[in-house]
């Protein structure tokens, strides 16, 4: 199955971001991708954290959800829409939600980001807890690919990457492919992004697809980029350093089967 990890440098204006996402999804489809994954905050990188509140949508209806459903149908793609803000019932917080759509435009999965980023090194400070409410459930969905294989896909978002127990829970649900749409900062990305992605692939003997924000944004934030695909043995097989673009790779389900047969570590877990 050919996958596309889409790297963006999202701006403040939602419509401009959706326009760029549409063009990149079209590029992925033209290259033969079956699954395209957008980065975290693909639809907006606000001037302030609280900008998410004004753009929150009700689950099942809204501009961004309509865009994702329509694009899936238009391009004949499975699309995982990075993240978008969905209402929580609390006017001061939103969920940071990743939604998966089938080519018939039906939403097949929703994952609300569980782990919320906090970082303060004295020069940079981020605290997602100010406006984002945490999710609580690991989520997988099934994707029947054109070659007849039924992929089991585990969902996650950005800061989740630091919590291996989430990925082990997804592997226990049968996940062969782990998605990590992200917006790592330049500081934390340079230090930890690649090693964490490779570790999650190695630990779970699974493919990892990680689309990212990558560049200097209109709001002044600088994200790390390096969108990548990692194979079940922990090898980086495709990547893009910075700026927007599409990272393509053909995933082989048999690599998961072989790796798990040769090194059955998942069956050896005792905790």
* Each residue's pLDDT tens digit, 147-163: 999 999 999 999 999 99
From 113, 128, 176, 239, the catalytic residue: 113
What residue ranges do the domains of the chain occupy?
Answer: 2-268
Q: Is 27 helix (H, G, I), strand (E, B) or coil?
A: helix
Nearest-angstrom CA–CA distance, 218 and 221: 7
Active site residue 40: yes
From 52, 158, 176, 244, the catalytic residue: 158
Q: Is 22 helix (H, G, I), strand (E, B) or coil?
A: helix
* Each residue's pLDDT tens digit, 17-76: 999 999 999 999 999 999 999 999 999 999 899 999 999 999 999 999 999 999 999 999
Taking the alpha carbons of 168, 174, 177, 178 in that order, is the dihedral positive or negative?
negative
pLDDT mean across residues, the chain = 97
Yes or no: say if 225 and 39 are a contact pair by the CB < 8 Å rule: no
Active site residue 15: no
Yes or no: say if 68 and 79 are a contact pair by the CB < 8 Å rule: yes
pLDDT at residue 155 in the model: 99
Active site residue 194: no
Nearest-angstrom CA–CA distance, 195 and 182: 15
The fold adopted by the segment(s) 2-268 is Nitrilase/N-carbamoyl-D-aminoacid amidohydrolase (3.60.110)
pLDDT at residue 17 in the model: 98
Predicted model pTM: 0.98
């Amino acid at each position: 199955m050919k996958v596309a990890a889409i790297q963006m440098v999202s701006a403040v204006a939602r419509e401009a971001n959706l326009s760029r996402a549409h063009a990149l999804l079209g590029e992925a489809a033209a290259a033969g991708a079956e699954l395209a994954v957008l980065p975290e905050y693909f639809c907006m990188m606000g001037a302030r954290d609280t900008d998410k509140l004004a753009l929150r949508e009700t689950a099942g209806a809204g501009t961004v959800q309509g865009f994702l459903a329509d694009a899936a149908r238009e391009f004949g793609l499975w699309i995982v829409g990075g993240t978008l803000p969905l209402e929580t019932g609390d006017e001061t917080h939103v969920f940071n939600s990743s939604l998966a759509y089938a080519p018939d435009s039906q939403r097949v999965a929703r994952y609300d980001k569980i782990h919320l980023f906090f970082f303060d090194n004295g020069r940079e400070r981020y605290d997602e807890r100010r406006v984002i409410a945490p999710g609580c459930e690991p989520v997988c969905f099934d994707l029947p690919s054109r070659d007849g294989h039924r992929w089991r896909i585990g969902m996650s978002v950005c800061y989740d990457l630091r919590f291996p127990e989430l990925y082990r829970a997804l592997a226990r649900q049968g996940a062969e492919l782990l998605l990590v749409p992200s917006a790592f900062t330049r500081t934390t990305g340079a230090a930890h992004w690649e090693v964490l992605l490779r570790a999650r692939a190695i630990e779970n003997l699974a493919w990892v697809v990680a689309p990212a924000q990558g560049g200097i944004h209109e709001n002044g934030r600088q994200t790390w980029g390096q969108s990548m695909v990692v194979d079940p043995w922990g090898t980086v097989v495709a990547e893009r350093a910075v700026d927007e673009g599409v990272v393509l790779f053909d995933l082989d389900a048999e690599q998961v089967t072989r790796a798990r047969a040769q090194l059955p570590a998942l069956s050896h877990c005792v905790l």
